[in-house]
Structure 1
Amino acid sequence: MSVRGIRGAITVEVNEEQPILQATIDVLNGIVTENGISPEEICSVLITVTTDLDAAFPAKAIRQMEGWELVPLMCAVEVPVKGSLERCIRLMVLVNTDKKQAEIKHIYMGEAAALRPDLGNS
């Protein structure tokens, strides 16, 4: 068994609490479903947001999900690179798994799919 990183990203239309929380849940659920993992297998979740998203901590959404109360979470702000995708939430889920790196399904939703077109995004 190895620790693997599963990437995900999604954008929101507005800098408001509910859209930020719902988008975080959506991308995390995509990661969990597509990779067949459970919170018990998760080592930690790192969450970053672009500087234009400051209405909520995305970790709040995960903390409220059943079974996720004990998973270590950390929020941070992305490096503000000029011209980068706006209103973006990125996740790095570290998971214990027997899957090879090539078998991991990374989830990029909506406009964030443009970040990694090579991964066959959602």
Structure 2
Amino acid sequence: MPVRAVRGATQLVTDTRDQMLDRVAEMVTEVMTVNRLEVDDFISVVFTATSDLVAEFPAYAARQLGFGEVPLLCARELEIEGSMPRVVRMLAHVETDLPRADITHVYLHGAAALRTDLTRVRSVPDE
């Protein structure tokens, strides 16, 4: 089965544990839904967070979704002047029969502005 990379990003309104868990779970679940993936399809996931997010590890949200046996890694995003604040990104390697061109990358909330070049970006309004 082919291995593909799937990207995602979401932006938090505030740096709270609950919002980190909710937004990351939403992003991971949406990546799974739109790409017809199950937890067993995931090889590994790397999460990055901007330096202004310290309330919780993004990977903990995935663990709560059943990713206990999937290797997960959290890292800091580069601190580039003018970059979007409070963003969590993910890069997942998955086994899927989907052609690379049919993989849907998910950018939610304010993070939808990060990849306006992608035609299949779903923007969810902030609460």
TM over 0.5: yes
Matches within 5 A, 1:50-89: 50-65=50-65, 67-89=66-88
Give the match for residue 125 of structure 2.
none
TM-score scaled by structure 2? Answer: 0.92
Q: Distance in 2 between matches of 1:101 and 1:80?
A: 30
Tell me the percent identity: 39
Code of the aligned partner of 1:89: V
For the pair 1:16 / 2:13, whether they are aligned, the reply is no
Q: Distance in 2 between matches of 1:38 and 1:49?
A: 24
Matches within 5 A, 1:1-122: 1-65=1-65, 67-120=66-119, 121-122=121-122
- Regions of 4+ moved over 4 Å: none
Unaligned 5+ residue runs, structure 2? 123-127
In the alignment of these two chains, the number of paired residues is 121
Q: Distance in 2 between matches of 1:114 and 1:82?
A: 17
Unaligned 5+ residue runs, structure 1? none
Code of the aligned partner of 1:106: H
